[in-house]
Each structure stands twice: as structure tokens, then as C-alpha cells.
């Protein structure tokens, strides 16, 4: 058939309705080894919560032997070492393995994975560097970061070693995004990564809840952090990754075994509850509502009605300690003349005062900010009631704008929003249920991320956000796969000449 004397183009191939065949899978043996390693790491982390495990020399020998074995494995299978890195990241603050300047388990694993990538490139030819759709935005964001870094370095009171350490910790999660882009290449590897993320999240939940008895009343000392540096970070960690269980259930609700995934959400939800983080409560509720909206609108309406009812009577479901934490946000004060008024409690009011100072800091340096790591040192200048004190911003967006400038915040939000768009497109248009579940889980995690960072800085610690960046790279990879790309961004119809 011809059109105006020219042969018509062939019809586009139909979109795949079944999952593409797995490539490079390593089967049950790999999964068993990873599960065994995770159980061992969980046991060691549990022992470390009660004190140092063994002598320093014994720990050093164990780390060196393990890393030599991984170095040898990396020559043959860099993916396995990368998987070890993925399930180690949430434990990197519990088990840092720090033996001197920049010598810790995280950095050594990063070097081993890069070493393995070079050898894989030699075997296959070519190179492992892969560009992504976010390169320009990430490059601009890092540019503002380094400008902010050098501005801070000009201050005489700033310790260069501390500053370099802070910037390295800030950049590491972004580097994990590129490392995942270079290592992960096919559906089987994507499936393995999600398998590991869900297992590690469950293991952290187990560590947070295994020995913890819900207190009768709220107290600051009873907040659970499960070995992370702070209880609020633990709550944020759970809200970023807990919704993958629901996502995979929703894609396979007709199979009974997937209903068990809903049970995996319970220890994570209990872990959030035991952190007594109001920001974590809010982020979890926001994510739960959003994923129900994506799943079925009727479920969303029912859940919203239940939440509104519980807002009036939270004691029907939540324990007394959690109710006290929520209701303690506003307290009654008695005035001079016996009149009572409701005010925010001291912690909440303190955050508002810090935010006011942060806004003044942003307005005084809107383009380049005051310099990386300078917010705690300078907040007293903009909020005199905190003079002489070093305080956290308690809001990621204000922190980025204050230290790195408003343009850096705009670029960062563009990255997050673009990832949200990509993951939603995968959820709505991909035919493979694995990809759809990942899109649904990541999109919900982004919503929880946006909510959690309104009340604290939960975007710059490797143990909390490192896996989030790895999953972001996986979302980009799924989007670029030909069948998915054809559905998400259909090609324009052929022009008739």
C-alpha cells in the first residue's frame, strides 16, 4: 500500500500486555544469600543496640574479610555487591564501621561497586556511564550546593573538615541515584532491588518494635529510633517505603498470598507510632489517603471518613500515649484574670519562631543563601530569642532556601515533581504489574516525602533517603524501557505526504 507514491510506514507494534522476559536474573540462590545476609545484619544491628559487638579488632577483621570477599565477587557479579549496598544503607547509621577519615562501610562498598562496574565494562566493551532525564536539574542543584559550600568555607569560624564531611554526606544519596542508573539494567534486577527494599524496611520495623512496649503515657525518653540518629528520621524512613506493600497488594488483590503484604504494614505503622513524631503521623496519613485515592476512590472516601471520626475520638484506635502526643500540640493556659486560652505547646511554638527567623534569613540572601551548614550558626542573628543556640530549621524547604538560595529550592522541587509525574505515568500506563506497583509506591512515597519535610529536615541523611534516590533511578529506568515509553509517551502519528 502506498501513500502519494510512497510506501506507508508499518503499523506500530502493539504494547506488551505481559511482562518482558527476565534478563540477567540470578534466581533463588541470590535471593537466599541476600535474605541470609539481611538476617545476619539485622541480628548484628539488634546486638549493637545493646552495646558494642565483640572487640574492635574482631570487628575490623570481620569487615576486612567481608569486603575482600565482596571485591572478588564484584569481578564476576557487580549486581550482587550493589544489592548488598542497597540493604546496608538503612543500617549505615546503626553499623557505620568507621575506622578513620572516610574509611567506613558505606564508602568502601561504593568503591567496590564502581570497581565492579569498570570490570563489567571491560568484559562487555564500552562504558557504564548512562545519562538520565534529570541530569541537568541535578547538575544545577549540585552547582548551587557547591557555591553554598564555598561561601561557607570563607567564614573563619568554619572547620573545613566538618564542612567537607557535611557536603559529602549531602551528595552521597544523589550519587546513589547515578550508581543505580549504571548498575541496574533489566526487569529482574529491578525486581531484586524492590525485593531488598521491602525486606530491609520490614527488618528495620522489627528492630524498632521487637522489644518495645507501648508506654501508658507519652514521654520524650520513650521515643523509638531503632538505631537511626533520631526518632523523627525513623518515622520519615517508614513513610517513604511502607506503601510498596500496599502497592503490590493492589496490583495482585486477586491472589491470596499478596494479602499477606498488608500484614507487613502493621509493624511499620507501629514503628511510626512509637516514634511519637507528629510529622511522621501526618506524612503517613497523607500517604495512606493518597494511595487509596490511586487504588479506588470509594476506599479513599471510606478512609477519609474514618480518619475524620478518629480525629474526634482518637482513643478508639490509638493508644493513650499517641493520643497524648497528638493532643499535646495545643494546650490550655490560664491567664492573669482566670481566663483560659488555647495555645501551641512549647515545641510547636518554637518551630514557628524558628520558621519566622528562617524566612528573614531567606529574604536577606534570596539568591545564594547564607552558605551550606550555616543555618544553625546564624539563626540567632535572625531570631534573637535563640541567640547563642544552634538549632535545626525543622523544615527542609526553608533550610534549602536559607542556605543555598531560592533558585536551589525551585530546582530541587522541580526534580521531586518530575519524579512524581514519571511514577504516576508508569502506574497509569504500564502493562507490567511490577512496574505499575513500583510507580504507585514511589508516587505515594513522594507525597509522604513532601509532607514529612514540612516539619523537619528528612532529605539529607543517607540512611533515610539513600534508598529513595535508588528507587528514583529505577523509576527513570522503567520509563525509558521501550514498551513503557511507548505507552507513557506515544509517538506522534505518521505524517501523510
Identify which has the larger pLDDT, 85 or 319. 85
Mean confidence (pLDDT) of the chain: 83
Residues 101 and 228 placed together within one structural domain of the fold? no
Spatial contact of 81 and 73, defined as CB atoms under 8 Å apart? yes
Strands 6-7 and 2-3: antiparallel
pLDDT above 70 for 335: no
pLDDT in tens, 370-416: 988 889 989 999 988 888 788 888 999 999 999 999 999 999 999 99
Question: Could you tell me which of 180, 31, 196 has the C-alpha nearest to residue 110?
Answer: 180
Predicted confidence band at 444 (pLDDT cuts at 50, 70, 90)? very high
Residues 110 and 148 placed together within one structural domain of the fold? no
Report the distance separating Cα 69 and Cα 29, nearest Å.
17
Identify which has the larger pLDDT, 66 or 26. 66
Residues 149 and 121 placed together within one structural domain of the fold? no
Predicted confidence band at 103 (pLDDT cuts at 50, 70, 90)? confident
Residues 315 and 209 placed together within one structural domain of the fold? yes
H or E stretch covering 7: strand 6-7
Tell me what the mean pLDDT of segment 415-429 comes to: 95
Confirm whether 339 is domain-assigned.
Answer: no
Residues 122 and 257 placed together within one structural domain of the fold? no
User: Residue 335, Cα to own-chain centre: how many angstroms?
Assistant: 45
Residues whose CB is less than 8 angstroms from the CB of residue 304 and which lie 6 or more positions away in sequence, other chains included: 289
Could you list the residue range(s) of the whole structural domain that residue 146 is in? 140-325+405-488
Predicted confidence band at 215 (pLDDT cuts at 50, 70, 90)? confident
Residues 206 and 304 placed together within one structural domain of the fold? yes
Q: How many CB atoms lie within 10 A of CB 219?
A: 12
Please calculate the CA angle 113-116-122 and round it to the nearest 5 degrees. Answer: 145
Tell me what the mean pLDDT of segment 333-348 comes to: 63
Residues 176 and 310 placed together within one structural domain of the fold? yes
Confirm whether 353 is domain-assigned.
Answer: no
Spatial contact of 222 and 284, defined as CB atoms under 8 Å apart? no
- Determine the pLDDT at residue 351: 86
Backbone angles phi, psi at 3, to 5 degrees: -125, 110
Q: What percent of the chain has pLDDT above 70? A: 84
Confirm whether 362 is domain-assigned.
Answer: no
Confirm whether 337 is domain-assigned.
Answer: no
Residues 155 and 201 placed together within one structural domain of the fold? yes
Please give the full DSSP string across 333-355, using - where no structure is assigned. EE-TTS-EEEEE-HHHHHHHHHH
Confirm whether 3 is domain-assigned.
Answer: no
Provide the b/e sequence for 315-345 (b: ≥16 CB within 10 Å): eeebbebbbbbbeeeeeeeeeeeeeeeeeee
- Determine the pLDDT at residue 79: 92
Confirm whether 446 is domain-assigned.
Answer: yes
Q: Is 393 left (phi over 0), alpha (psi -120 to 50) or beta?
A: alpha
Tell me what the mean pLDDT of segment 468-479 comes to: 96
Confirm whether 330 is domain-assigned.
Answer: no
* Last residue within a domain, chosen from 128, 154, 183: 128
Q: Is 280 exposed, middle or buried (0-12, 13-18, 19+ CB in 10 A)?
A: buried
Residues 81 and 188 placed together within one structural domain of the fold? no
Tell me what the mean pLDDT of segment 294-323 comes to: 88
* Last residue within a domain, chosen from 108, 128, 148: 128
Q: What total of structural domains would you count in the chain? A: 2
Provide the b/e sequence for 235-271 (b: ≥16 CB within 10 Å): bbbbbbbbbbbbbbbbbbeeeeebeebeebbebbbbb
H or E stretch covering 6: strand 6-7
H or E stretch covering 330: strand 330-334
Residues 114 and 181 placed together within one structural domain of the fold? no
Report the distance separating Cα 212 and Cα 231, nearest Å.
14
Runs of H (alpha helix) within 50-128: 56-76, 78-88, 105-124
Residues 186 and 288 placed together within one structural domain of the fold? yes
Predicted confidence band at 456 (pLDDT cuts at 50, 70, 90)? confident
Spatial contact of 220 and 56, defined as CB atoms under 8 Å apart? no
- Determine the pLDDT at residue 495: 44
DSSP state of 332: E
pLDDT in tens, 9-59: 444 333 333 444 443 444 677 777 777 777 777 777 766 666 666 666 777
pLDDT above 50 for 497: no
Residues 124 and 167 placed together within one structural domain of the fold? no
Confirm whether 381 is domain-assigned.
Answer: no
Report the distance separating Cα 140 and Cα 23, nearest Å.
35
Please calculate the CA angle 195-201-206 and round it to the nearest 5 degrees. Answer: 125
pLDDT above 80 for 358: yes
Report the distance separating Cα 426 and Cα 422, nearest Å.
6
- Determine the pLDDT at residue 223: 80
**Residues pairing with 333 in the sheet:** 341
* Last residue within a domain, chosen from 100, 128, 156: 128
Report the distance separating Cα 432 and Cα 252, nearest Å.
12
Amino acid at each position: 500500500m502506498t501513500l502519494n507514491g510512497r510506501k506507508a510506514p508499518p503499523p506500530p507494534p502493539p504494547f506488551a500486555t505481559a511482562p518482558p522476559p527476565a534478563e540477567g536474573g540470578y534466581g533463588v540462590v541470590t535471593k537466599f544469600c541476600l535474605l541470609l545476609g539481611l538476617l545476619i545484619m539485622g541480628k548484628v544491628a539488634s546486638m549493637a543496640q545493646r552495646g558494642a559487638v565483640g572487640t574492635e579488632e574482631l570487628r575490623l577483621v570481620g569487615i576486612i574479610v567481608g569486603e575482600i570477599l565482596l571485591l572478588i565477587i564484584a569481578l564476576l557479579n557487580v549486581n550482587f555487591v550493589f544489592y548488598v549496598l542497597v540493604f546496608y544503607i538503612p543500617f549505615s547509621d546503626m553499623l557505620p564501621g568507621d575506622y578513620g577519615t572516610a574509611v567506613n562501610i558505606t564508602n568502601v562498598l561504593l568503591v567496590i561497586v564502581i570497581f565492579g562496574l569498570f570490570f563489567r565494562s571491560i568484559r562487555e566493551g564500552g562504558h557504564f556511564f548512562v545519562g538520565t532525564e534529570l541530569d541537568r536539574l541535578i547538575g544545577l542543584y549540585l552547582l548551587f550546593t557547591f557555591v553554598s559550600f564555598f561561601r561557607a568555607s570563607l567564614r573563619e569560624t568554619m572547620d573545613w573538615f566538618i564542612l567537607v564531611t557535611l557536603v559529602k554526606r549531602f551528595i552521597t544519596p544523589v550519587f546513589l541515584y547515578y550508581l543505580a542508573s549504571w548498575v541496574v539494567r533489566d526487569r529482574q534486577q529491578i525486581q531484586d532491588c524492590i525485593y531488598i527494599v521491602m525486606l530491609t524496611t520490614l527488618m528495620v520495623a522489627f528492630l524498632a518494635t521487637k522489644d518495645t512496649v507501648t508506654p501508658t503515657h507519652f514521654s520524650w525518653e520513650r521515643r523509638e529510633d531503632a538505631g537511626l540518629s533520631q526518632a523523627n528520621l525513623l518515622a520519615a524512613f517508614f513513610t517513604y517505603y511502607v506503601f510498596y506493600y500496599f502497592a503490590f497488594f493492589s496490583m495482585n488483590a486477586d491472589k491470596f498470598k499478596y494479602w499477606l503484604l498488608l500484614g507487613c504494614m502493621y509493624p511499620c505503622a507501629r514503628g511510626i507510632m512509637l516514634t511519637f513524631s507528629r510529622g511522621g503521623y501526618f506524612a503517613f496519613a497523607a500517604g495512606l489517603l493518597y494511595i487509596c485515592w490511586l487504588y479506588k476512590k470509594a476506599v479513599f472516601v471510606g478512609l477519609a471518613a474514618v480518619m475524620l471520626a478518629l480525629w474526634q475520638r482518637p482513643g478508639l484506635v490509638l493508644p493513650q500515649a499517641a493520643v497524648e502526643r497528638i493532643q499535646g500540640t495545643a494546650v490550655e493556659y490560664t491567664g492573669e484574670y482566670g481566663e483560659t486560652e488555647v495555645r501551641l505547646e512549647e515545641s510547636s511554638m518554637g518551630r514557628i519562631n524558628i520558621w519566622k527567623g528562617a524566612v528573614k534569613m531567606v529574604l536577606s540572601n534570596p539568591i545564594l543563601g547564607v552558605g551550606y551548614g550555616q543555618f544553625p550558626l546564624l539563626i540567632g542573628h535572625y531570631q534573637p530569642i535563640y541567640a547563642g543556640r544552634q538549632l535545626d530549621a525543622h523544615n527542609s524547604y526553608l533550610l534549602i532556601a536559607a542556605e543555598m538560595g531560592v533558585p536551589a529550592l525551585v530546582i530541587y522541587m522541580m526534580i521531586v515533581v518530575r519524579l512524581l509525574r514519571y511514577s504516576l505515568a508508569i502506574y497509569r500506563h504500564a502493562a507490567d504489574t511490577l512496574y505499575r506497583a513500583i510507580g504507585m509506591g514511589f508516587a505515594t512515597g513522594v507525597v509522604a516525602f513532601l509532607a514529612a519535610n514540612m516539619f523537619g529536615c528528612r532529605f539529607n541523611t543517607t540512611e533515610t533517603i539513600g534508598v529513595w534516590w535508588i528507587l528514583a533511578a529505577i523509576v527513570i529506568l522503567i520509563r525509558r524501557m521501550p514498551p513503557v515509553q511507548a505507552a507513557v509517551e506515544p509517538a506522534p502519528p505518521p505524517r501523510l505526504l
